[in-house]
Amino acid sequence: MDLKRLRWATRRGMLELDLVLLPFLENVFPSLSDDHKVLFETLLTCEDQELFNWFLKKGNPEDPDMKIIVDIIRANTGLQPDN
């Protein structure tokens, strides 16, 4: 997916998600490995409420690959995972 489409896909129905996803896309995404970039693209297909809960640490994705990208996003947006 090209950057313009990714930018559009980060625009969600919840402002809170926009404030997490767009800065991540602009500031961190370019430095991700290709595998992590694919995980981010897959993450964008998830429901807003799931993303919101994951980013606020009210749960974690069941899929271990999704948990990897959620943890990367948390670590790079001030949403630190619990130790």
CATH of span 33-83:
1.10.150.250
Report the predicted TM-score, pTM, of the whole model to 2 decimal places: 0.87
pLDDT at 81 over 60: no
Average pLDDT in the 59-80 region? 90
Dihedral angle, C-alpha 38, 12, 82, 71, nearest 10 ° = 10
CA atoms within 13 A on the CB side of 69: 25
Q: Would you state the structure tokens that stand for residue 10, as one six-digit string?
A: 């980060």
Q: What is the mean pLDDT of the chain?
A: 91
pLDDT per residue over 18-41, tens digit each? 999 999 999 999 999 999 999 999
pLDDT at 66 over 80: yes
Dihedral angle, C-alpha 60, 12, 65, 27, nearest 10 ° = -110
3-state secondary structure of 4: helix
